[in-house]
Amino acid sequence: MKNINRRQFIKRSGAFVAAASLPISLVEIAFGKNHPQNFTFGFISDSHITHIKGKEFVRNWDQGLKRAVAEANMMDPRPDFIIYGGDLAQLGKPEEIDHALDMLSGLRYPVKYVMGEHDYYLDLGRHWQKRLGPDRYSFDHKGVHFIVLNSILTHDKWIHRNWKDGMARMKQMARLDNPDGSPFLVGEAQRKWMQNDLAKVSHDTPVVVLSHSPLQKIYKGWNFWTDDAEQVHSLLKPYKKATVLYGHVHQIQYNQIDNIRFHSVMATAWPWPYPATYAQGVSHLPKLTVPMNRADPFFERDATGWQFINLHSGDVDLNYVLWENNTNRIVRFDPQKNHPVDTRFQDPDKRIPPQTHY
């Protein structure tokens, strides 16, 4: 097998890490040491390509995606494919989706796409689907069953409200702490489809669900929330190895609910919450409504980076490569505890006390 060599991977991309700053991830699925079916894939997410006018786009977000493409092309070992986790666009405009896909066309690997809410709510995913095909599908790769969901749907009543136009709806969905917003849903039709899809998959097969929203209930005000999460969990309950990888939250999160492991990936655009220096680009950022702790508010690329994911025996180890002066983090599956742990915070001597200010 091509045993993943993290040091080698990082060394290869080191020139980029030193030179600039942005995020992708590499996932390894391993069936045991030296197993011939082990493989890796990359993960890029949340580029939020933003059209200004004509051929002008917000440069910082363009640069993030370009860098992720360049780093992914330098991955060693070569990933079998790349997952793009959603939010190609900021306001779902065809110009934004097309420009993002132009940049992503530089990848030397096949790419599988996940729908984000910023790609969807302008035209209900029409342009995205025209370019990329169905927004829910499944595939098998070397013994692992992957399910791609459109997890950013919401109630039909809200979607078909008396909006002035699609852009008005898109902007409402993009707002934080919006009393006129609506929580994400996988929805009944898609859950039924998922149930049928899983009917063919043995309970010993590792299952990886690729979703834009977290498929958990984390924070409703910012739609870090999927309203029918429990119903999706129940479909995954019989599986010995079930993992959900998601974008959307632009920050490191990991969790385990029953048998299901959850890992977020970071954005190539901005981290949530973003540092004060980002205020320079305020017209291109959602209004920050909830102050949250940050590791360090003085680094503008704090909490951006890319991920290197080792999915061994169906369990995920996620290596976050954080740019600038951030310390890299590893969230690793702990077989003793039977859940993922952030290795940096397991040693009591190295434990960082909770921050009391931001």
Positions that interact with Fe ion (CB under 5 A): 46, 87, 116-117, 248
CB of 17 to Fe ion, least distance (A): 23
Residue 265 CB, shortest distance to Fe ion, in Å, is 11
Q: Which residue lies nearer to Fe ion by CB, 99 or 241?
A: 99
CB nearer Fe ion, residue 9 or residue 61: 61
Q: What is the rounded distance in angstroms from the CA atom of residue 287 to the CA atom of residue 266?
A: 19
Q: Which tokens go with 178?
A: 């919006």
Q: In what order do the strands lie in the sheet with 207-211?
A: 137-141, 144-148, 207-211, 242-246, 260-264, 254-257
Q: How far is the CB of 73 from Fe ion (least distance, A)?
A: 23
Angstrom distance (rounded) from CA 244 to CA 240:
13
**Signed CA dihedral, 77, 108, 60, 92: sign only:** negative
- Shortest distance, CB of residue 303 to Fe ion, whole angstroms? 13
What's CA 8's distance to the chain center, in Å? 24
In the bound state with Fe ion, the residue whose beta carbon lies nearer, of 251 and 313, is 251
Q: Least separation, in Å, of the C-beta of 118 and Fe ion?
A: 6
| CB nearer to Fe ion: pick between 30 and 114 | 114
Q: How far is CA 94 from the centre of its chain?
A: 21
Least distance in Å: CB of 184 to Fe ion? 9
The string of DSSP letters for 128-187 reads HHHHH--SSEEEEETTEEEEE----B--HHHHTS--SSHHHHHHHHH-SS-TT---BB--
Residue 328: how many other CB atoms lie within 10 Å:
15
Q: In the complex, what is the shortest distance from the CB of residue 128 to Fe ion, in angstroms, rounded to a whole number?
A: 13
Query: Which residue lies nearer to Fe ion by CB, 169 or 241?
Result: 169
Q: Which residues contact 321 (CB under 8 A, 6 or more apart)?
A: 10, 13, 17, 305, 306, 307, 308, 328
Residues 6+ apart with CB under 8 A from 69: 44, 103, 104, 106, 107
In angstroms, give the least distance from the CB of 341 to Fe ion: 26
Q: Return the residue matching tokens 């069953």.
A: 145
Task: Give 194 or 266: the residue with its C-beta nearer to Fe ion.
Answer: 266
Nearer to Fe ion, 88 or 147 (CB): 88
The smaller minimum CB distance to Fe ion, of residues 116 and 214, is found at 116
Angle between helices 59-73 and 6-19 (to 10 degrees): 150
